[in-house]
Structure 1
């Protein structure tokens, strides 16, 4: 590998093809004369000279500069002064995401966690060895303030906009974090739950750690909910909480799936001895790795690690099966209503899940577009082939749609947390969180698969690192509620509260803001779908319960598509009015036609439109 290639910090070292060597590793192919890349010699080789062919890997661009939709949406959602203040951090993070952070993520994926059950003398220790790169990724997220931003809003001045700023940071950091955003999600959720429900001493001692910007002081939190008996059905939780004579509590049982097992603390559900069965009898506890009474580690003693989970993806993050044998735990508030208390936690983790899906989708498109600019087929670059451009444009539209939907949730959560949300906005948010999580989770897997296909056979080869996109995406429709679980959660919310009328009204308001000639047909189609959804929901009271439940997945997805389309139309109208820019209008019309109008109205592709969507949504690196 020549020196220029070694020094290119933006080269995707985790997406190297089999003929490449990682920096610092011996090359796995013969040395090639650098002059082979001169145009004259390349033409000579193309005429039949005997010389091996080498594909060029994609070069990930600066992820802030290239992400036109991200910049556009932030300009619309954030006050001018606030965006000016945060833009330098986002610009630096975009550069780091394509260089330093990306390299750390690649190393963390290669150097996976290891369980060391015993020390050299045979004593139980249950240590988990993680990659130094994983620990550096922790340091980076703490300094970025991924968990601090939503909580130090008075100091930053972000206030109700804090969650939008957090999402912008997450969007750039997450795809280059080797899924460190999972511990971030659980830490953020733990802070929210403790602020809402914990007694003052516990809250003040722990929340300051969870939201710290100091890597030496900051804690991360896990979630210990899943058990063999119940899975998503937490009402079957079998872990028992026992209160000692001195009033302290200990937990006894097995937690089957505990992500981020190296975290400093974790929220855990348990059933106090003598409490009633079912979800009503559960309480919420905080378990700390270091016993706060003694300063001694509970790991390897009252908390035993049975094994690390061999997962399909997210392999850089340790996930374990634990046995709790008298682990000291502190109740989060009164020892009751545990399931009710974790509802706030689920709102935050499902929001994080959607942020991960949105950011991952954008990364998949970025890589596919970057490759299309260097890969040739039939005498042309892939990006110049109309069919390939059509495919990439469809991917780009879906990625922007996921961002638009998720950043709307970020906006509403921020308003709710700071007391500025209306009752209608809070009702809309209750419906939007499960819909957003399920829709973005499903779309992320589909887009990751499409991204791999855009690389041909290279997308199927582990050496390229590309299969990580698909393996890591597959957790998104599963964690924190599968598509079916979330669909039924939407149904429960709709039957107990006025969440759907509020959301339908909000959808209509988005369309009202998009009442411009250039979007008239799209607005008409979205409004028609809204009317159909309203009619379907109004018919539930007269329908068989089984029929309603069986149709909820389809209903939830349709609802998510319609609301997303309205958001895209609203954004497009803003861009037209303020900047006379129709890029977002092209995206909105494309999404409406492909996702709402049906295949019959999407049978005549427009190559010029697809090329415009692609080129104007992905700022090209200089010199390309």
Structure 2
């Protein structure tokens, strides 16, 4: 039978006209309500991907720790080269900064790429506003750079020639986590070098103010500088590519009119740029002799742009964090910074600085990807064990380590030479050596960085290809290193130019330096160093013999061999630095192994390729025939 009672509201559920309270209960002698079992229900099997669950395994990400403590080659170089009093003074700074990079700056750098700069040309009412919008992380990097004295250190000059080494070491810790803020800092350092060497800085209050701001440690006063040299024709040929005109004004200043096709760090506070001065009858000089350097403050006192229109932000493969733009100079107020017609010459000391920065960025990125890959190898398991326990993986990391140590020592040794040069303590031989190794350093470390970072991404498997990890951006950003401040071929020609202009003195000094570094190996107890030294000496002798004959081959031969020559000189020099470092009394067995492995490669590809006929007329013809094959002419 059915019993009807009124116990709870079912009006809505039954769609009754009123909220009637009903309960239906069926009672029968044959069918009783089941009694609750006292037994526990059977356990349900674990279903790893049920509902909102995502499985039980989550890969632990690599850790970025104290990047100074983890960099044994940087520490050992500083202990070996610096006076003990200097090392004891700067080491705590690097120690604390290395911790700050891992705890704070690394994440700020990643945020710079997550929030890229934007250009707002007009407001809602059609007014030209040219707002350049950058992220808070980008602005924070500027404050960090000021507080830490990344630009200021060599100009404060607390440690004489070692101040530059201190700066480069610190920037090497910073660069790869700076979110590419290292780019405006490089140009700022270049501008500082220009102002320090200019007699106008002391006499011109505008230049003196700029100099003090560029080296300030106060974030509210700190300036960065751009370098707006590249125009539509682009490339390194600024003598024929500069079309910007400078019109003299009654007060001695100038108005600039031109189009800057590639202006990195458009958000900088000031810039140095090139233009041709127009005389009263409208004439100006073509070629190198017509180019002068000008100082421009990017904004007027009221905050508006100084006769500058931002046409567009560049859509680049990498370095997207840096606001790079095409700019129209339409009457920008400027002050002549160089001597009239000496603008290209004024660039030279700036190039030395920016090429060094390019190289330290390369070495920094190599070290960072390797540190992360090493840490990851302890956290990632494959085939039942951590990948650090797979010998093939360790071999890959070791080969990356060899290249990274070579790049770091090359950068630090060049910083040592630059420190001596800019404090007037360099000998003539050291100045000549700096002249030839600077382009070698830039061209070779750039190529090493691209290869090493690409290899490093493989160490993370598929995660190395995923944007969220921040790893792919490292490879994109590295690609520009072989283009900025001169391509590989341009720098190879610059090496040849240094040889020709000094009547071969730079080469002679280079080989002398090589031999002096190898002498230390004879006193070492490491057997590996003796073999490495022997290979270096033999390759050096072969190169000398080739160069004697090359002088009779003519300029075409030298140009054709220029790139391979630059690679050969770079490999020999890095090899000598590794041998020298491993010959130090406190060197480790690892230092000796690194030197040995480096010297096992072909140290002189220019000799090998000469013997294979790469530079002969037949070889040139084969090159062109192969390249143009199938192309309609």
Q: TM-score, normalised on structure 2?
A: 0.83
The yes-or-no answer on 1:104 pairing with 2:114 is no
Write the distance in 1 (CA, Å) between the matches of 2:209 and 2:294.
15
Q: CA RMSD in A?
A: 1.9
Residue 172 of structure 1 aligns to a residue in which SS? helix
Q: 1:27-176 counterparts in 2 under 5 A?
A: 51-153=55-157, 156=158, 158-176=159-177
Write the distance in 2 (CA, Å) between the matches of 1:362 and 1:86.
21
Change (3 A) 1:544 1:396: same
Task: Confirm or deny: 8 A CA contact 1:227 1:255 kept in the other structure.
Answer: yes
TM-superposed CA distance for 1:193, in Å, is: 0.7
- Of 260, 267, 270, the residue aligned with 1:262 is 267
Which is worse superposed, 395-404 or 507-516? 507-516
Task: Confirm or deny: 8 A CA contact 1:198 1:332 kept in the other structure.
Answer: no
The residue that corresponds to 1:238 in the other structure is 243
TM-superposed CA distance for 1:522, in Å, is: 0.6
Write the distance in 1 (CA, Å) between the matches of 2:317 and 2:330.
29
Change (3 A) 1:114 1:198: farther
Write the distance in 2 (CA, Å) between the matches of 1:81 and 1:58.
36
Residue 250 of structure 1 aligns to a residue in which SS? strand
Residue 155 of structure 2 aligns to a residue in which SS? coil
TM-superposed CA distance for 1:68, in Å, is: 1.0
TM-superposed CA distance for 1:51, in Å, is: 4.0
TM-superposed CA distance for 1:532, in Å, is: 2.2
Residue 371 of structure 1 aligns to a residue in which SS? helix
Write the distance in 1 (CA, Å) between the matches of 2:59 and 2:399.
25
The residue that corresponds to 1:35 in the other structure is none
The yes-or-no answer on 1:394 pairing with 2:399 is yes
TM-superposed CA distance for 1:175, in Å, is: 1.2
Change (3 A) 1:126 1:82: same
The residue that corresponds to 1:617 in the other structure is none
Write the distance in 2 (CA, Å) between the matches of 1:540 and 1:269.
37
The residue that corresponds to 1:20 in the other structure is none
The residue that corresponds to 1:618 in the other structure is none
Q: Deviations over 1:265-304 (max 9, x none)?
A: 011011112332111210001111134xxx24452x6100
Q: Deviations over 1:392-441 (max 9, x none)?
A: 00001111110000101000000000111000000010000000000000
The residue that corresponds to 2:557 in the other structure is 547
The yes-or-no answer on 1:510 pairing with 2:514 is no
Write the distance in 2 (CA, Å) between the matches of 1:470 and 1:207.
34
Q: TM-score, normalised on structure 1?
A: 0.84
TM-superposed CA distance for 1:569, in Å, is: 0.5
The residue that corresponds to 2:385 in the other structure is 380
Write the distance in 2 (CA, Å) between the matches of 1:246 and 1:223.
25
- Of 280, 284, 287, the residue aligned with 2:296 is 287
Residue 542 of structure 1 aligns to a residue in which SS? coil
Q: Which has the higher contact order (CA 8 A, sep 6+)?
A: 1
Which is worse superposed, 118-127 or 450-459? 118-127
Q: Deviations over 1:517-546 (max 9, x none)?
A: 521111111111212222233333211322
The residue that corresponds to 1:610 in the other structure is none
Which is worse superposed, 55-64 or 65-74? 55-64
Q: Which runs of 5+ in 1 are unaligned?
A: 1-43, 599-624
TM-superposed CA distance for 1:148, in Å, is: 0.6
Task: Confirm or deny: 8 A CA contact 1:358 1:440 kept in the other structure.
Answer: yes
Which is worse superposed, 544-553 or 256-265? 544-553
Write the distance in 2 (CA, Å) between the matches of 1:106 and 1:377.
28
Change (3 A) 1:123 1:587: same
Residue 593 of structure 1 aligns to a residue in which SS? coil
Change (3 A) 1:331 1:540: farther
Which is worse superposed, 534-543 or 416-425? 534-543
Write the distance in 2 (CA, Å) between the matches of 1:595 and 1:56.
39
Change (3 A) 1:417 1:94: same
The residue that corresponds to 1:441 in the other structure is 446
Write the distance in 2 (CA, Å) between the matches of 1:375 and 1:539.
54
- Of 406, 413, 421, the residue aligned with 1:408 is 413
Residue 312 of structure 2 aligns to a residue in which SS? strand
Task: Confirm or deny: 8 A CA contact 1:298 1:327 kept in the other structure.
Answer: no
Q: 1:129-528 counterparts in 2 under 5 A?
A: 129-153=133-157, 156=158, 158-197=159-198, 199=200, 200-201=203-204, 202-236=206-240, 237-273=242-278, 274-291=283-300, 295-297=301-303, 299=305, 302-497=307-502, 498-515=505-522, 516-518=524-526, 519-528=529-538
Write the distance in 2 (CA, Å) between the matches of 1:127 and 1:335.
33
Residue 227 of structure 2 aligns to a residue in which SS? strand
The residue that corresponds to 2:626 in the other structure is none
Residue 481 of structure 2 aligns to a residue in which SS? coil
Write the distance in 1 (CA, Å) between the matches of 2:416 and 2:538.
26
Write the distance in 2 (CA, Å) between the matches of 1:553 and 1:132.
42
Residue 271 of structure 1 aligns to a residue in which SS? strand
Change (3 A) 1:496 1:514: same
TM-superposed CA distance for 1:210, in Å, is: 0.7
- Of 566, 571, 588, the residue aligned with 1:581 is 588
Residue 66 of structure 1 aligns to a residue in which SS? coil
Task: Confirm or deny: 8 A CA contact 2:119 2:312 kept in the other structure.
Answer: yes
Q: Which runs of 5+ in 2 are unaligned?
A: 1-46, 49-53, 606-633
Q: Deviations over 1:358-395 (max 9, x none)?
A: 11100011111111111111112111111100000000
Task: Confirm or deny: 8 A CA contact 1:229 1:238 kept in the other structure.
Answer: no
Which is worse superposed, 413-422 or 373-382? 373-382
Write the distance in 2 (CA, Å) between the matches of 1:51 and 1:188.
51
The residue that corresponds to 2:613 in the other structure is none
The residue that corresponds to 1:14 in the other structure is none
TM-superposed CA distance for 1:64, in Å, is: 1.3
The residue that corresponds to 1:591 in the other structure is 598
The yes-or-no answer on 1:537 pairing with 2:547 is yes
Write the distance in 2 (CA, Å) between the matches of 1:540 and 1:296.
61
Task: Confirm or deny: 8 A CA contact 2:275 2:291 kept in the other structure.
Answer: yes
Query: Which of 1 and 2 has greater Rg?
Result: 2
Which is worse superposed, 134-143 or 227-236? 227-236
